[in-house]
Structure 1
Amino acid sequence: MAVMKQNITLAVEKKLLKQAKAMAAERGLSVSALLSSELARLVEQEGKYRRAQTRAVARLESPLHLSFTNKPSRESLHDRQGLR
């Protein structure tokens, strides 16, 4: 299946465009291809960040499962005999 593409108009400072053209040429790309790949990378990063954020919030909202097999008694924890 062919990927549908859409042309856009973008206004940037002349100095920035000159730098982008040089960068694209160094990479053997057109400015359009350079911007397209960087935009795709940015969108992918944002998606990964949001998914990680959702997982982190879910972990914070779920209780920790701390189970002790040999739970010490309150008396042994507060035994003051060893301090005298």
Structure 2
Amino acid sequence: MHQNITLRLEKRLIRKAKIRAAERGTSISGLLAEYLQEKLEDEDAYEQARQRALDLLDRGFHLGGHVPASRDELHER
């Protein structure tokens, strides 16, 4: 489903967008839709990666160490 929107942009930006859209064989609308889609997908991917990293930090890291012996165990002979 598509819906039209109205944007207010500087003339210089519109001129550049027209040129870029023509180079890609699309319209300004198509160009903006493509850019917006890419931006939203990138932000979603970033947020997912960020959440995975935070989950890893919450679980902690296994650094191969061991729990040290108690004081009594260290002094047993």
TM-score by length of 1: 0.73
Q: Which moved more, 1:43-52 or 1:57-66?
A: 57-66
Corresponding letter in the other structure for 2:36: L
Which residue of the other structure, out of 52, 56, 59, is the alignment partner of 2:53? 56
Stretches (4+) displaced over 6 A: none
Encode CA deviations 1:30-81: one digit per residue, 9 max, x unaligned.
0000000100000000000000000011111112224458x9x8xxxxxxxx
Give, in whole Å, the separation in 1 of the partners of 2:48 and 2:65: 32
Give, in whole Å, the separation in 2 of the partners of 1:31 and 1:10: 11
Corresponding letter in the other structure for 1:35: L
Corresponding letter in the other structure for 2:21: A
The higher radius of gyration belongs to 1
Give, in whole Å, the separation in 1 of the partners of 2:48 and 2:29: 29
TM-score by length of 2: 0.80
Structure 2 stretches lacking a partner, 5+ long: 70-77
